[in-house]
Amino acid sequence: MARIIQKYGGSSVANLELIKGVARRAVASKNEGHEVVVVLSAMRGETDRLMSMARGLNPDPMPRELDNLLATGEQVSIALFALACQSLGEKVKSFTGLQAGIKTDDDHGRARIIEITPTRIKTELAKGRVVAVAGFQGFNRLGDLTTLGRGGSDTTAVALAVALKADLCEIYTDVEGIFTTDPRVCEKARKINKISYEEMLELASLGSKVMEIRSVELGMNYGIKIHVRHAHAQSQGTYICEEDTDMEKTPVRGVTFSVNEARVTLLKVPDQPGVAAKILGLVSKAGIVVDMIIQNQSVYHPVGEAGTSLTDFSFTVPILDYPKAMELMKEAGREIGAEKIVGDDNIAKISIVGVGMRNHAGVAALMFQTLAKEGINLSLISTSEIKISCIIEKKYAELAVRALHDAFKLEIPS
Amino acid sequence: MARIIQKYGGSSVANLELIKGVARRAVASKNEGHEVVVVLSAMRGETDRLMSMARGLNPDPMPRELDNLLATGEQVSIALFALACQSLGEKVKSFTGLQAGIKTDDDHGRARIIEITPTRIKTELAKGRVVAVAGFQGFNRLGDLTTLGRGGSDTTAVALAVALKADLCEIYTDVEGIFTTDPRVCEKARKINKISYEEMLELASLGSKVMEIRSVELGMNYGIKIHVRHAHAQSQGTYICEEDTDMEKTPVRGVTFSVNEARVTLLKVPDQPGVAAKILGLVSKAGIVVDMIIQNQSVYHPVGEAGTSLTDFSFTVPILDYPKAMELMKEAGREIGAEKIVGDDNIAKISIVGVGMRNHAGVAALMFQTLAKEGINLSLISTSEIKISCIIEKKYAELAVRALHDAFKLEIPS
C-alpha cells in the first residue's frame, strides 16, 4: 500500500465528463489498495471568467479580495469531484486549502506555503476515504484566503506529498510526459521515462509547460518522487526523481531552445573589479531578469588609457526588455568606459541537458561539431555542470534542435 | 451614527452593473456616517448553475459536499462587491461565513446558527471599513462549511444584526416592501409603511416572497428593527418592528390568500381523548405538514355506539399531499370509527391579519358580512389573536381578497 498524491490540472477537469473520468481514476488507485489524496485546479476557463468579472469592476483589484474570488474556482472543483466519487460508491471528503491546513505567508496572489498541518486529511485517510484538496490556495495567519500564483496547484500537490510523507506525487496533465525536445519542432522527440530533478530544472522551457518549475525544486529538496502523466490515458509518463547510475549512462537527456531572448554586449570594457556588478545592478534595478552572463578572458592587449586590460561583456534578457536594456547600457556604457554597445534580438538559445555529461567526455565537442556541420555559427557559449547552451541566429533554431536530437541519438529510449 | 446591516438578494447582484449600484448604495450609507455591514447572496442564477452541475454528477449529492459547492456563490459575490467598493475609493474587507465567525450546527443544507463571534467584523468597522459578509453560510464545530437553506441570507443578516447590536437591518430586494395584499390580485394594494413582527409572521404568504419568515422570528426575539426595501430605488420600504400604539389604531394590516391547500374532513368521529392526536400523528408520520386544524364542539346527539358523543374533524394540507392524506384517513377512519371521510382540493384560504383586531370589535363580523354579500360561502373558519382565516371555494379567492381590501379600507395609508 502506498500513499499517493494525485494532482489534476484545469484541462483535466474542464467539464463534468472529464471530472467523472478523474474520479474513476482516483477510485481505481484507491481500489488497488493505495491511500489517495487528490489535488484539483479550477475547471479550465473558470479562473479567467472570475478574473474578467473582477476587472469589469476594478482595473486594479485588491489582492486579498481577488484571492477570495479566485479561491472559489478550486472549491467548486473539489466539491464536484467528491460528488462524482460518491456516485461511484466511494467514501470521500473534500477540503479547501484552509481546511487542509495549508498555511501561507501574507503575499496575496503569490503566497508561499509556510507549513501544512494535515490533521484532518490524515484522519480521513485513516477512515479509508479518498481526500480531495483544493489546489492553488491556503490561508494566512489572519485566516484570510491566499492563492499561490501561477502553477500553484503543483506546489500544493508536492507540498502535501512532503507533509504527508507520500510515496509518490502524480501530476496528471494533458500531455504524455516530458519529451526529449518539443515534438512540434522535432518529430523524433520521445517521451522521457525518467529524469533527474536537476535535469528537469535545467529543461525548464520544456518542463514548465507541463509542471510548475518551483514545485520541482520543492520535490528535489524533500526527495518526493513525481510522476508526470496524461490524465485520460493509461500509459506511463515521466518520473522525476533522484539521479541514479542508470541516468548517468546517457550523456544528454534533452534538447531545448528559446527564441524569446535578446543579447546585449558591451565591447572593450575595462577589465576591473566592480564593472560586472555595476552593469547587472543597473539592469536588475530596472526589474529586468538576466539569463546568460558571459565575460571573456581579456582578448585585447592591455593598452587601455589607464593601463588596464579590456574585455567584452555579454548578457541575455527577455526580448520584451531588450530595448530598455540597450538604452540603459548606452547610458551606462559611457560611464563605464565601454567602447561600443551592440545587441541582437534575432537570436535563439539552444541547450542540451543531462547529468551524464559529467562523466562523458566530448559532449561539448559533439554539440559544436554538429552545429558547425549545419553551418550554424555560435555567438555565445555558456555551460553549467549538466547543461551546455549556445546562442545562434534565430532562423537556425529548429534545424539546430533536430540536428542535436539526432547527434545524441535521443530517439533511442535510454 | 448608526450601525446598519444591509442585505442584498441575488436579483440585486445579478450582474456587474447591479453590483456597482449596490456598492454605491453601501458607500452612500457609510458616507452618511454609519457603520455598514453588507450581507450578500449569490448572483441570481449562480446557485442554480452550481446545483445543475452537482446533479449532473450525482442525483443524490452528499449535503456536506453540496455545501462546499454552493458556498462559493456568496463568496464570489462578496469579493466582487468589495472590488466595486474599492473602485469607488472606499476601504472594505470581505469575509466568508467562516471568517465572519458564523458558527452553525452540523445540519448541512439547512444548518441553524448556534452563535456568531464577529471579532474580525468589529475590528474592521473600528478601522472605518465597510464589511461584506457572505450570506447563507457558516461553519460547524469541525470547521466544515454549512449552508442555512432557503432564504438563508436573510437569517445571516438578522443574526449579524443581533450579534453586532445593530440599530437597523435593511433587507434590499426587488420589490418596494410588504403590501396590504398581492398587487396582482388587487390593484388597490398599497405598500405598508410599518408592520409588527407578529403581523408579518401571520402574513407569511405575502411576506415570504420578500423575506425569509424564520428570520422575522429571529428579529422579533431580539427586537431587531428591519427595513424591507427596493435595492435600486430610493423610496422608503416597509419597517418590521415592535407593535406600537399607532399600529393598534388599524384593525387590519393586510389580506392574504392561498390556493395551495386542500381540506380533509372526518365526519362523525367519536369525540374522545386521543383521537385528534391519532389522526395528526398518522399525517405527520407521513411527512405531511398540516396548516389549519378545526374540531367543532359536538354537533351530533350523543348516540354513538359506545355512548360517546360524535364530532367532525377537519384539517388542511398542501395540495400536493392531498391524495396521500385522503388515503391515510380512509384507512385510519375505519379504525377510529369515523362515519365518512370527505375532502376538497378546490378551496382557497383567505386571511385578514392585524394587531388592531385585538381591540376592535366587529372585525370578524365585517369579514363574514363582506364575504356573504358577495355570495361566498365559508366552509371552515379559524382564528388566532391577530388573524382570521376562512376556507372558501377556490374560484372566489380573488374576489374575496378585493372585497375585504375594500371593506377594511386598506388602500388608505394608516
Minimum CA–CA partner of A88 in chain B: B58
- Contact (CB<8Å) B75/A96: no
Taking the Cβ of residue A178 and every Cβ of chain B, the question of whether any pair is shorter than 8 Å is answered with no
The answer to whether B193 and B30 are in contact (CB under 8 A) is no
The reply to whether B27 touches chain A by the CB within 8 Å rule is no
Beta-bridged to residue B352, according to DSSP, are B255, B388
A148–chain B nearest CA distance, Å: 18
Taking an 8 Å cut-off on Cβ atoms, the answer to whether A16 and B54 are in contact is: no
Q: Which of B66, B76, B83 sits opposite A58 (nearest CB)?
A: B83
Which residues of chain A are within 8 Å of residue B137 when distances are taken between CB atoms? none
Distance CA A89, CA A168 (A): 25
Residue A66: closest C-alpha in chain B: B79
Mean pLDDT of A137-165: 95
Q: Is the dihedral of CA A22, A23, A26, A32 positive or negative?
A: negative
Q: Residue A80 is nearest to which of B69, B96, B142, comparing CB atoms? A: B69
Give the span between the Cα atoms of A338 and A330, in whole angstroms: 9
Distance CA B3, CA A105 (A): 33
From residue B11, alpha-carbon distances to A324, B132, B379 in Å are 50, 17, 40
Task: In chain A, count H helices and then E strands.
Answer: 13, 20
Per residue in A41-52, pLDDT tens?
Answer: 999 999 999 999
| pLDDT tens per residue, range A320-354 | 999 999 999 998 888 888 889 999 999 999 999 99
- CA dist B101 and A349 (Å) reads 55
Q: A340-343, long-range: CB within 8 Å, 24+ apart, which pairs?
A: A340/A266, A340/A267, A340/A268, A341/A264, A341/A265, A341/A266, A341/A267, A342/A264, A342/A265, A342/A267, A343/A262, A343/A263, A343/A264, A343/A265
Instruction: Check if A17 contacts B (Cβ < 8 Å).
Output: no
Q: To which residue does cell 422608503 refer? A: B236
pLDDT tens-digit profile of A362-413?
A: 899 999 999 999 999 998 998 888 999 999 999 999 999 999 999 999 999 8
Contact present, A213 and A207 (Cβ < 8 Å): yes
Residue with cell 462587491: B81
Of B16, B56, B78, the CB nearest to A68: B78
Between the alpha carbon of residue A250 and those of residues A180, A241, A364, B43, B243, the distances in Å are 12, 16, 14, 57, 88
Helical ranges in A286-320 per DSSP H: none
Measured CA to CA, the distance from residue B153 to residue B174 in angstroms comes to 15
Q: To the nearest whole number, what is the mean pLDDT of chain A?
A: 92
Q: Which of B185, B210, B197, B209 is nearest to B348 (CA)?
A: B185
Contact list, A80 vs chain B (CB under 8 Å):
53-54, 57, 69
Residue A164 to residue A3: CA distance in whole angstroms: 8
Q: Which of A31-40, A131-140, B138-147, B378-387 has the lowest mean pLDDT?
A: B378-387
Smallest Cβ–Cβ distance between B76 and the set A20, A69, A94 belongs to A69
Nearest chain A residue to B92, by CA: A65
- What's the confidence (pLDDT) of residue B276? 83
Residues in a beta bridge with B209: none
Tell whether the model's pLDDT for residue A307 goes beyond 70. Answer: no
| Residue A335 grid cell | 560611464
DSSP calls for B120-138: HHHHHHHTT-EEEEETTEE
- Strands B340-344 and B261-270, how do they pair? antiparallel
Residue at grid coordinates 369515523: B338
What is the residue whose three cell numbers read 532562423?
A395
Q: Which residues contact B27 (CB under 8 A, 6 or more apart)?
A: B85, B88, B90, B130
Sorted by sequence, the CB contacts under 8 Å of residue A43 that are 6+ apart come out as A10, A13, A14, A15, A19, A73, A76, A77
Q: B-chain residues within 8 Å CB-CB of A24?
A: none
Q: How much is the pLDDT for B297?
A: 66
pLDDT in tens, chain B (414 residues): 899 999 999 999 999 999 999 999 999 999 999 999 999 999 999 999 999 999 999 999 999 999 999 999 999 999 999 999 999 999 999 999 999 999 999 999 999 999 999 999 999 999 999 999 999 999 999 999 999 988 899 999 999 999 999 999 999 998 999 999 999 999 999 999 999 999 999 987 776 678 888 899 999 999 999 999 999 899 999 999 999 988 888 999 999 999 999 999 999 888 777 888 888 888 988 989 888 888 876 656 555 555 567 888 899 999 999 999 999 999 888 888 888 999 999 999 999 999 999 888 889 999 999 999 999 999 889 888 899 999 999 999 999 999 999 999 999 987
pLDDT class for A301, splitting at 50, 70, 90? low
CA distance A116 to A306: 59
Cα distance between residue A202 and residue A384, in whole Å: 10
Instruction: Round to whole Å and give the CA distance between B117 and B140.
Output: 13
How far is Cα B209 from Cα B182, in angstroms, rounded to an integer? 10
Cβ <8 Å between B80 and A19: no
pLDDT at A2 over 90: yes
Q: What angle do CA A129, A132, A138 make, to 5 degrees?
A: 135
* DSSP letter string, A73-134: HHHHHHHHHHHHHHHTT--EEEE-TTTTTEEE-S-TTS--EEEE--HHHHHHHHTT-EEEEE
pLDDT in tens, A79-101: 999 999 999 999 999 999 999 99
pLDDT recorded at residue A306 = 55
Domains and CATH numbers, chain B: 3-174 (3.40.1160.10), 244-414 (3.30.2130.10)
Q: Name residues 214-273 of chain B within 8 A of A (Cβ).
A: none
Cell reading at A24: 474513476
8 Å CB contact of B66 and A58: no
From the centroid of its chain, how far is CA B232? 22
How far B44 CA lies from chain A's nearest CA (Å)? 15
Beta-carbon separation of A65 and B71 below 8 A: no
Half-sphere exposure of A152 (CA within 13 A, CB side): 28
B43 in helix, strand or coil?
A: coil
Spatial contact of A153 and A41, defined as CB atoms under 8 Å apart: yes
Q: pLDDT value at position B213?
A: 84
Interchain contact, B75 vs A69, CB within 8 Å: yes
Q: Give B152's DSSP letter.
A: H
Alpha-carbon distances, residue B83 vs A60, A64, A126, B90, B393 (angstroms): 9, 10, 42, 9, 54
Q: Nearest by CB to B72, from A19, A76, A83: name it.
A: A76
pLDDT score, position A16: 97
Cβ-Cβ contacts under 8 Å, A20 against chain B: 57
Put simply, the answer to whether A65 touches B86 (Cβ < 8 Å) is yes
Per-residue CA distances from A207 to A228, A370, B248 (Å)? 10, 25, 77
Q: Which of A47, A66, A69, A85 to mutate to test the interface with B (most CBs of B within 10 A)?
A: A69
Q: What single-letter DSSP state applies at residue B384?
A: E
What's the grid cell of residue A285? 534595478
Locate the chain B residue with the closest alpha carbon to A98. B143
Q: Please determine, for residue A305, whether its predicted confidence score (pLDDT) is greater than 60.
A: no
- Chain B contact probe: residue of A49, A65, A98 with most B CBs at under 10 A: A65
Q: Residue A140 corresponds to which cell in the numbers above?
A: 494566512
**Residues 6 or more apart from B274 whose CB is under 8 A from it?**
none
Which cell numbers hold the place of B45?
Answer: 442564477
Using CA coordinates, name the residue in chain B closest to A93: B65
Mean pLDDT is lowest, of A112-121, A207-216, B209-218, B374-383, for A207-216
Among A38, A62, A93, most B C-beta atoms within 10 A, so best to mutate, is A62
- On whether any CB of chain B is under 8 Å from the CB of A364, the answer is no
How far is the C-alpha of A378 from the C-alpha of A303, rounded, in Å? Answer: 28
CA atoms within 13 A on the CB side of A175: 17
CA closest to B77 among chain A residues: A69
Q: What mean pLDDT do residues A223-251 have?
A: 93
Inter-chain CB proximity B57 and A143 less than 8 Å: no
Tell me which of A59-63, A315-319, B332-336 is least confident: B332-336
